[in-house]
Chain A
Amino acid sequence: MQEPQKPDGTPDFGQAVRHFFHSKGLHLGIGALLVLGYYASLPGHLWQSTPPFQVAPVPQIAAAEVGSGPAAVPLPLPVQDGHSPAWVSLPEGRLRALWQHQGGLHSATYTPASGDRETGRWSDTETLPPETHAGKGGLDRGVVVVRGARDEVHIYAISGGATPALTLAVQDGSGWHLRSGPLLSALPGQAVRLAGPAARRTDGSHALLVQRGDTLVWLRVAIQEGRQRGTQQGAPYIAASQRLPDDQAAGTAILLADGGESALQLLTPAAEPGPLFWSGTADRGERWSVPQALSAAGTLAPGNSLAALRLAEGDWGLVAVSEGGALQWHRGQDAGQRWRTPVTLADRAGQCRRPDGQATGAPALTIAADGMVHLLYADDGCRLRHQVFSAAWTGETS
């Protein structure tokens, strides 16, 4: 193509630009750029299928329902002020309890009896650095504690300001490492909080329940491996988002994996006492069944009123705060077809309120390597209580 020339023979760059803008080459070039943009806008994980759910391991003793009655061992966590508890299972059968108190996040670790030590023991209470949970405001916006793919402890929180963003603190052998994550809201000032416990998938990503305004959304949060796509190594990113249907307004949702493909979603009432709803998926969470009321659980208090765990295939254990504030243990079998008579664990629970009147977190439930179920909850005086019982317990003391 002849380069446009000025009368004095020097090339006119402006003429060249104008010529280029009207040429066919530009037209085809921009068409090619559109294809490039299409490719660029496709998520990197699009070509990978949604990873299966990771099924929480269940100790054989619990599955076999050996033993009954409240257990004397292991040692309960000493009663102390606190609320919004959480459990993390650590390697070698250790359990770590975390709870909130006076704007801080505290933890203690239980080491079970082994070898020359006849009884288990609790470590001293440790107060976590404020940056691990984005300060006091971060606690108000909810904190989710989970075990990472390499047995490290992950704390997800939401940083404040008009642009709420996900933060991740990872504790490994060398201490805490802080990672900034993506923005979580579309509009500035939108209230965003973490609304429930996390579930794991086999690729190490976590399903986090986020409340954005009045909407509940499941986010699949993965950890960036290496410096790909310009993000910080180890930083969390949102791999997928799935909004709960509007007619499924819930206080919180708990996801229990029953297999790689199948899972159960339990939904507590949002604002008024009501029944517990459940829905299921058989395709890794792509589609969910229509929610149905679980009448066996009775009427639940609204909001964070539920803790749940998987005891065996099709066998579930729930601790729910009833409408009257009683804490009850429900044991369901045969995929929820049979339910035992609920056992009342405490008459007045779920009454603890923060100083600003907001409800505190749900009870926390986990199962230890010895098959014992560990429950942490805040009583009506906002004191943290720890109960240990067998999964097969029917409420009768022997």
Chain B
Amino acid sequence: MMTYAVLASLVLATLVYAALATALLTAVGSTRTPASRWPVIAAVAICMAVLAGLSSQGLFDGLSDGLSDGLPGAWAGQGRFSITSGLLAVLYLLHPWCQRRPGWGSLALPDGQRRMLIFGVIVAGLVVYPAALGLGPGAGAADIWGAGFGDFRLSTGLLCLGLALWVLRAYHLCLLLVAAQCAFALQLLPSGNLWDYLLDPWLCTGAIVTVLWALARPGTPVGPVPPREA
């Protein structure tokens, strides 16, 4: 049985894979992805998303355990990409298109906000995932990952974070936060935990790799910079 939570996960996975494919092509080849490659990118992204989805029994009923456990595609993020990852992929993919239209450049994620986002994702990941593994502080009432199932303290903390971003006029980050919260309210993903809407392990890993890359190569931009118009 395929619910729309599964469909939403597939869409998110497709978007993220498409953004990754675009970034790889951009890194390997020209400064921007030719239009002729878009169908290839889309086909690869959809195939990867479907493969990942099929290998996740938690999302598709009726598949045998052996199939579910055996395919490495289950590690590829199906049902795991957060709303934040999906929206960042959309921003990345739309960036060249926005650049071509006067005024639409405001939709692109500004550099300052990109740095804030990377910093925030790393900090949140370092707090949440060790707590989920039982490594960090988080016993009893202060279970940080468990708070994602519904805790007004987490919601209030996120409101304070959002207000700080609002004061700094980091509107993109405010909208990312609100989108994840609204998706949580609508239960768009197959998870009842707010953290799964805000973060995912791949987003955190990407943020850490980005910072390490920037430290190793000083002078390069922090974060994946979308391809610009030639």
Contact = CB atoms under 8 A, between A and B. Distances in A.
Contacts of A186: 128-129, 132-133, 145, 193, 195-196, 201
Interface stretch (B20-28, B89-97, B151-159, B208-216): B151-159
A160 B65 contact: yes
A164 B140 CA distance: 23
A14 interface: yes
Interface of B is mostly: helix
Contacts of B177: 34, 37
A42 interface: yes
B111 to A, nearest CB: 16
Interface in B73-99: 74-75, 78-80
A243 B178 contact: no
B187 A162 contact: no
B224 interface: no
Interface residues of B, number: 73
B149 A135 contact: no
A197 B18 CA distance: 44
Contacts, number: 214
A31 B171 CA distance: 9
Interface residues of A, number: 72
B132 A214 contact: no
Contacts of B225: none
B39 interface: no
Contacts of B17: none
B113 interface: no
B190 A161 contact: no
Nearest to A26: B171
A128 to B, nearest CB: 16
Interface of A is mostly: mixed
B155 A41 contact: yes
B68 A161 contact: yes
A163 B59 contact: yes
A46 interface: yes
B162 A239 contact: no
Interface of A: 12-18, 21, 26-27, 30-31, 33-38, 40-46, 131, 134-138, 159-165, 167, 178, 180, 182-183, 185-190, 212-215, 217, 229-232, 237-247, 286-288
Given A18-B102, A245-B139, 17 more contacts: A21-B171, A34-B178, A38-B156, A44-B150, A137-B65, A138-B65, A165-B58, A180-B3, A180-B58, A183-B193, A189-B75, A213-B134, A214-B134, A215-B134, A229-B187, A241-B146, A243-B134
Interface of B: 1, 3-5, 55-59, 61-62, 64-65, 68-69, 74-75, 78-80, 101-104, 106-107, 128-129, 132-134, 138-141, 143, 145-147, 149-152, 154-156, 158-159, 162-163, 166, 169, 171, 174-175, 177-178, 180-182, 184-188, 190-196, 201
